[in-house]
Structure 1
Amino acid sequence: MTESPDTALRPRRSVLYMPGANERALEKAKSIDADALILDLEDSVSPDAKEAGRANVVAAVRSGEYGHRELAIRVNSIGTQWHDADVAAAAAAGPDAILVPKVESADQVRQLVAAIEAGGAPATTQLWAMIETPRALLHAEEIAAAHERLTVVVMGTNDIVNETYGLHVPGRNPVVLASLAWTLLAVRAAGKVVIDGVYNDVKDLEGFDAEARQGREMGFDGKTLIHPAQVDPANVAFSPSEADIERAEGMIAAFDEAAAEGRGVATFNGKMIEELHVRDARRILAFAEAIAAR
C-alpha cells in the first residue's frame, strides 16, 4: 500500500454535511467541533436554490472563519445542469476539497482533476469522490488509484441501498456491508482515506454509536454525519482511547527492549508481538498526536 500526502494523519473522524443554501446553518457550523464540514450543493439544496447555495458556500470558504475544520464543497454530480458551474466556482474558492457524488470511473476522476485545475484551484485543494452506485463499486479500485489529487473516498450508503433495491436494517444489510468492505480494500490498496456513510435517524444515538463502532472496527477513518448531535459520538468512536494509547506505548517499549537484546519478536501482556504490531501502535500514537494538535 502506498500513502498519499495529507491522508494518513489528518483527523476526519466526524465529517458533517451542512446545507449550502442555509446561511444560518453555515454560520452555526463555525462553532461545531467536527473535523471536517461538507458544504453541500447537492441533495440538501432544492433546484431553485442552487445558485444562492453556490454563492453561500463560496463566501463561507473565503471567509476563513472555520478554524481547524477541513472544508469540502460537495458539487452536483457529473451530467447535471449545475455541475460545471459548481466545479468552476468551487475551484476558484479554493476549499480544502471538492467532493463529487456518483463518480463511476477512473476517466471521470481524471476529467474532474482537469476541470479543477482549469478552474484555478490551488494545489492544496483535493478531490474527494463518492462511491454510491453499483457501477462505482465494481470500479472502486480504479477510481481510488486514478489520480494523486484524489485523496478521500466517501461512501454513499443511502444510494447503495436505493440502487440495489435493498432495505435499511439495524447493523446494515449484507450488500451494504459487502460494499463497505470492498471499497475499503480498494481505497487502502491505493493508500487513500475512506469515510463511512451517514446514519439516518438523528434521534437514535444508541443506533448511531453502534454503527460508528462498526465502521471503526471495519477500518474506516471516520463517518459522514447529518446532524451536529452526531459529532461528539463520532469523534469518540474514531479516536484512540486512553487504553489504546497505553497499550500502544507498552507494546513499543516491549518491542524496543526485545530489539536491543537482538530478538525480532517480543511478548506483551502475554501475547507475541512483532514489527507489524509495532507499526500499528506507532500509527495509533501519531493519530492521537494529530487529534491533540488540531
Structure 2
Amino acid sequence: MTDLSRSSMRPIRSFLFVPGHRESWIDRVTGYGADAIILDLEDSVPPDHKSAARALVADKISGLAAAGERVYVRVNRSPAMYDFEDILAVTREGLEGVVLSKPGGPEDIQIASALVHEAELRNGLELGRVALVPTLETARSMQTAYEIAQNPRVNAICGASAKNGDSARALGITWSDEGTETLYMWQRTVMAARAAGKMPLGGLWQDVHDLEGLDRYARRNRAHGFVGEMILHPTNVEVVNRAYTPSPEEVRYFKGMIEAYEAAAAQGVGAVIYDGDHIDLAHVQTARSVVALAEGSGDTD
C-alpha cells in the first residue's frame, strides 16, 4: 500500500470548495492558487443535480491533477453510510483524497476506508493511495477526534465551525467572530491531529467579501495550531495563503535565532540570549520548523 505521507501530507493552507455541478467554475479553478481544491458533491449541489455532478466531477479529476491541482472530492452520505456510487465514480487517477462530512465516529471512517479500498480495487488504482479528510461536525466526532485521526487513510481532520452550520447545531452553540464558543473544539481538533501525526485544518469563514475579517480569523486559527483551512470563495485564497505562511519578518527573526544558536554551539555553549530572550535547542527546533514551512511555500526572503 502507498504511504500517505509521501503523497498527501504536504501542508494545505487553502482548501477551496467548488460546487461539483458548476462546470465553468471547475474549469477556472486552476488559476486561483489554492493549495488544494474540494469538488463538492454534497451540500452545494441541489438534489436534482447530484447524478450529473458526480459524472462531471469524475470526468474533471485527471485533467485538474495533470494541471497541478491537488484534487479532493466531498461525497454524499446517508444517515448510515457514505455514498459508494460517489466514491466509486471519483476514485480514479489524479484523486488525492475524499472529504467526509459529519462522521458519527471512528467506525464511519473505517467503513469509508473500506469503501475507498474497494473502489481502488475495482478501478485498478494502487491500494492505499486515496486519503480521507473527515470534517468534525457532530458531537461524537469531536469527542472521538483522536480515534478518527488515527485511521491510516486519514491525512487531516478539519474542525470547521460555520455560522449556524452543522457543528453549531450539534453543540447548541451560537457562533461569534471572536470564536470563544468554539475554542475547545478547535483545540481538540489540533491536539488530536498533532498526536496522530496528521494535519489540523480549520474554517469556515462565511462572509466571503469581508477579507479583513477573514485575515484576522485565519491568523487566529494559525496561532491556535491549524496549518490551513477550508474556504468558500476564490477571493479568499490569497488572504488565507498569506495568513498561514510565515512572514518575511518571521523568517528573518527565526533565521537569526538559528544563526545565533549555532554560533554559540560552535563555542560549546548550549543556550544564548537572542533579541532579549533566553533560547536553547527547543526554541531553535521551533525556528527550524518555521523556516522549513516558509521554504515549502516558496517564501524565504
TM-score normalized with structure 1 length: 0.91
Q: Distance in 2 between matches of 1:196 and 1:6?
A: 23
The residue number in structure 1 matching 2:11 is 11
Q: 1:268-287 maps to which residues of 2 (within 5 A)?
A: 268-287=274-293
Q: Does structure 1 conserve the Cα–Cα contact (< 8 Å) formed by 2:135 and 2:157?
A: yes
| Range with bigger deviation, 89-98 or 129-138 | 89-98
1:135 maps to 2:157? no
- The answer to whether the 8 A contact 1:96-1:124 is kept is yes
SS for the counterpart of 1:38 is strand
Asked if 1:172 corresponds to 2:179, the answer is: yes
Which residue in the other structure is 2:169 paired with? 162
User: Cα distance, 1:37 vs. partner?
Assistant: 0.5
Match of 1:50 in 2: 50
Give the structure 2 partner of residue 152 of structure 1. 156
Where do residues 60-99 of structure 1 align in structure 2 (5 Å cutoff)?
Answer: 60-64=60-64, 67-77=67-77, 79=79, 83-99=83-99
Q: Distance in 2 between matches of 1:267 and 1:141?
A: 38
Do the aligned residues in 2 keep the contact of 1:88 with 1:116 (CA within 8 Å)?
yes
* Alignment CA distance shift 1:275-1:161 (3 Å): same
From 185, 189, 198, give the equivalent of 2:195: 189
Equivalent in the alignment of 1:33: 33
Number of residue pairs aligned between Structure 1 and Structure 2: 289
On the 8 A contact 1:17/1:226 being kept in 2, the answer is yes
Distance 1:68 1:268, change over 3 A: farther
Unaligned runs of 5+ in 2: none
The 10-residue stretch of structure 1 (15-24 or 94-103) with the greater mean CA deviation from structure 2? 94-103
Equivalent-residue separation in structure 2 for 1:86 and 1:130 (angstroms): 17
Percent of paired sites with the same residue: 31
Distance in 2 between residues matched to 1:128 and 1:261, nearest whole Å: 47
Cα distance in 2 for partners of 1:178, 1:33 equals 31
**Alpha-carbon deviation of 1:227?**
0.7
C-alpha separation in 1, matches of 2:280 and 2:188: 27
**Aligned residue number for residue 116 of structure 2:** 116
Deviations 1:161-200 (A, max 9, x none): 12222222221242x1111111111111111001112111
Please tell me whether residue 221 in structure 1 is matched to residue 224 in structure 2.
no
Q: 5+ residue gaps in structure 1?
A: none
Q: Equivalents in 2 of 1:126, 1:170: separation in Å?
A: 31
How far 1:94 moved relative to its partner? Answer: 4.6
Counterpart Cα distance in 1 of 2:234 and 2:73: 18
Aligned match of 1:234: 240
Q: Residues 171, 273 of structure 1: CA spacing in aligned structure 2 closer, same or farther, 3 A cutoff?
A: same
Seen in structure 2, the aligned counterparts of structure 1 residues 189 and 256 have a Cα distance that, compared at 3 Å, is same
Q: CA RMSD in A?
A: 2.2
Identify the residue that residue 249 of structure 1 maps to in structure 2. Answer: 255
Q: Deviations over 1:141-171 (max 9, x none)?
A: 11111x2221111223122112222222221
Tell me by how many angstroms 1:32 deviates: 0.7
Code of the residue aligned with 1:91 in structure 2: it is T
- Cα distance 1:236–1:264, how it changes in 2: closer, same or farther (>3 A)? same
Separation in 2 of the partners of 1:173 and 1:61?
Answer: 38
Q: Normalising by structure 2, report the TM-score.
A: 0.89
The 8 Å contact of residues 4 and 151 in structure 1, kept in 2 or not, is answered as: yes
Q: How far did residue 136 of structure 1 move?
A: 0.6
Aligned equivalents of 1:292, 1:270: Cα separation in 2? 29
The answer to whether the 8 A contact 2:106-2:141 is kept is no
